Chain A
Amino acid sequence: MIEIVSKERCVSCDVCIKVCPMDVFDRGADGIPVISRQVDCQSCFLCEAYCPTDALYVAPFDHPAPAGSDQTDEEAQIAAGAMGSYRAVLGWGRGRRNGSRLDQNHLFGVN
């Protein structure tokens, strides 16, 4: 589930509020999105994919991360290279090559 909105990185473009299919964010008073409905998050990572500044982190769990977990720790996730990892593999963002060009699913099972 969504755990981190980086205040440092966020540029208040609101794109995550808009693209989240489960409507988990609201706009905060300071322009930074607030995670208002975390339990509705289905960990689809699409907010990460659309975030232009890699300011979001969605943990891979079906439940909120416990307090004190490194899954809620922005610095730990930046250090692990996890912030923006989905966007990178999709090849979204300036100067990147579309990840779909590297799709080799035909090797792993055919019709």
Chain B
Amino acid sequence: MMQTDVLVIGGGPAATWAAESAVTAGARVILVDKGYCGASGAAAASGNNLWYVPPGPKREASIRKKADQAQGLVDEEWMERVVSTTWDRLFDLSDWGYPFPVDDDGVQRRSSLQGPEYLRRMRRRIHRAGVQILDHHPALELLIDADGVVAGAAGIARQDGGRRWEIAAGAVVLATGGCAFLSGTFGTNPDTGDGHLMAAEAGAELSGMEFSTHYGPSAAWGVHTKGRMLQFATLYEADGTRIDIPPGGSVRGIAMEREIAGQQVFASLEGVPENLRDMMRYSQPNYFIPLEKAGIDVFRDRYPLRMVYEGTVRGTGGLRVAGPECQTTVPGLFAAGDVATRELITGGISGGGAYNGSWAISSGTFAGRGAARFAITRGLRTARLRPDGRVGLRPERSGTAEPELADELITATQERILPPALTVRRTEDELLITEKITDGLWQTARAELGGRSDGRDVLRDRQAAAMIAHLRWITASALYRRESRSMHRRLDYPELGDQNYRIVVGGLDEIWNRPETGADERLAS
């Protein structure tokens, strides 16, 4: 069995910042990624805007403004920590050579990072600092020691015949991203919520799962959910009639309404002045290149839109943060990036855009330092480690599943979460139907799913289990919040109510909810 002080699971920004922070704090670090550290996850595939504000009155004003937008649920102390840590860490990124744009005064603009370049730099940095990187090593389960402390993980090497690996570690940082239910949104398909499932098996709590309602606009035939340039778009009906965008309205809002109504809407950037066009292309290449490849000149032509679900990646919920070092509620287990709830800085609004990028940097930093401290203080335990994975890995009736079972379970799960009519406009009736369906899916998974021999099948089974668990947490939390707040909209409770607290959810066979209490919060800060 391999051994290390800190094991980081994941390969995106939060994972690499955690690995960098842990190795700099003197820990030995191994990073295992499901895909390739540098290309995995939502950030590598796209642009990353950051919440990046200088210290002083400007920062204070920004925190106040965002706290107001968030309709409660945020923690201003956390907001301050996140924005100041992000600020400091971008000086490090600059020192490591990230090629920032420079303004006319020779000052670097650091509020936006281009994904491929950013993650390539981060990989290089942690490699040079001595982190051992294992690509295509998806983790499947945690290892728990005799004291009930997380002490490593196990998984498979999927490009090496699917052989099993086990790594003993003094502490584990989960940075496995959110869960986008294989909706196809580019960059998010590695994000199937595997980390949350492992954590929940060990008893970790989640929070904010009801705020998993975000959709991004892409071409109707595509997967590139890039919304920023659409602020300059002109919209048309299928018959060519121009759609007026009402004051206070947005292209996104209209596209969403039409999506729910089952009507196609068309967009064009025909109104954008010549002199901005190149600038736009270099700023958001992943908006333009897919359209160009499809033969569309977006500054002249119209193309059909659709809204694609983005799950908790651009929702805001995830593992509950139970301490300032991004501890989960399970000892030895830390959470960074989209796998953790971002409510502390966003409340119930989307973490997409600037929030998630800064959260990845800062929570990675907190979790990496915290995990290093925990591991070095407690020391490594390698005796009697218990593999903790269950549903999707170790079925109650092994060898009974049809090979298509995982795909069938995934499809059945997607049918209850991807349609915006179910997710954006919630009602108790539909939520109860989803609850009943997912109870059944979970029972089936528990009884039959797993135990296959091919490594890629093993991973597929485990992902199916993680996605069912996610839909159950989301559904239970959406039922529990009997009001409309931020991204969570209930048709049967259309007003903001008095549930001015975060909603905690947990459990696997039995799902439970409770309000987060003042005592929880004191622990966290």
Contacts and interface: CB of A to CB of B under 8 A. Distances in A.
Which 5 A-B pairs have CB atoms at the shortest separation, nearest pair first? Answer: A21-B35, A60-B290, A102-B282, A105-B112, A44-B45
A49 B285 CA distance: 12
Given A50-B39, A100-B98, A105 B221 contact: no
Contacts of B113: 100
B157 to A, nearest CB: 11
Interface stretch (B224-232, B241-249, B324-332, B379-387): B224-232
Given A21-B35, A59-B293, 15 more contacts: A21-B34, A21-B44, A23-B159, A42-B45, A42-B184, A42-B185, A43-B222, A43-B223, A60-B294, A63-B221, A85-B289, A85-B292, A98-B99, A104-B280, A111-B51
Contact of B117 (A42, A44, A59, A98): A98
Nearest to B291: A60
B363 interface: no
12 contacts: A18-B135, A23-B456, A42-B184, A45-B186, A46-B44, A60-B223, A99-B282, A103-B100, A105-B47, A106-B112, A107-B283, A108-B229
B101 A102 contact: yes
Interface in B106-121: 109, 111-114, 116-118
B376 interface: no
A20 B45 CA distance: 11
Nearest to B286: A45
A100 B112 CA distance: 9
Contacts of A18: 36, 135-136, 159
Contact of A104 (B51, B98, B279): B279
Name the residue among A22, A62, A71, A99 with the largest chain B CB count within 10 angstroms.
Answer: A62
Contacts of A45: 45, 186, 286, 289
Contacts of A99: 114, 117, 282, 285
Interface string B487-521: 00000000000000000000000000000000000
A89 B283 contact: no
A62 B189 CA distance: 12
A86 B290 CA distance: 10
Given A46-B45, A86-B289, A103 B184 contact: no
Given A62-B184, A103-B114, A40 B283 contact: no
Nearest to A71: B293
Contacts of A63: 221
Nearest to A60: B290
A94 interface: no
B208 interface: no
Contacts of B109: 103, 106
Interface string A74-111: 00000000100110011010000011111111111111
Interface of B: 34-36, 38-41, 44-45, 47, 49-53, 62, 98-102, 109, 111-114, 116-118, 135-136, 158-159, 184-190, 219, 221-224, 228-229, 231, 276, 279-286, 289-294, 354, 456
Interface of A: 17-23, 40, 42-46, 49-50, 59-63, 71, 82, 85-86, 89-90, 92, 98-111
A87 B354 CA distance: 25
Nearest to A59: B293
B290 A43 contact: yes
B211 to A, nearest CB: 20
A22 B190 CA distance: 7
Given A89-B282, A109-B231, A60 B219 contact: yes
Contacts of B221: 60-63
A19 B37 CA distance: 8
Residue among A23, A50, A60, A71 having the largest count of chain B Cβ atoms under 10 Å: A60
Given A46-B116, A61-B221, A61-B222, A19 B111 contact: no
B31 to A, nearest CB: 14
Nearest to A92: B116
A23 B136 contact: yes
A29 to B, nearest CB: 17
Chain A CB within 10 Å — which of B36, B53, B290, B294 has the most?
B36
Nearest to B184: A62
Contacts of B100: 100-101, 103
Contacts of A44: 39, 44-45, 186-187
Given A43-B222, A90-B285, A100 B158 contact: no
Contacts of A102: 101, 279, 282-283
A108 B276 CA distance: 10
B283 A104 contact: yes
A71 B35 CA distance: 26
A106 B116 contact: no
Contacts of B186: 42-45
Given A20-B39, A46-B44, A90 B101 contact: no
Contact of B116 (A49, A60, A85, A111): A49
B101 A100 contact: yes
A60 B187 contact: no
A19 B293 contact: no
Nearest to B50: A111
Contacts of B283: 102-105, 107-108
Contact of B36 (A20, A43, A89, A90): A20
Contact of B38 (A19, A22, A104, A110): A19
Given A89-B281, A89-B289, A99-B114, A43 B38 contact: no
Residue of A40, A42, A92 with most partner-chain B CB within 10 A: A42
Contacts of A107: 276, 279, 283
A84 to B, nearest CB: 11
Contact of B53 (A42, A60, A106, A111): A111
A21 to B, nearest CB: 3
Nearest to B219: A60
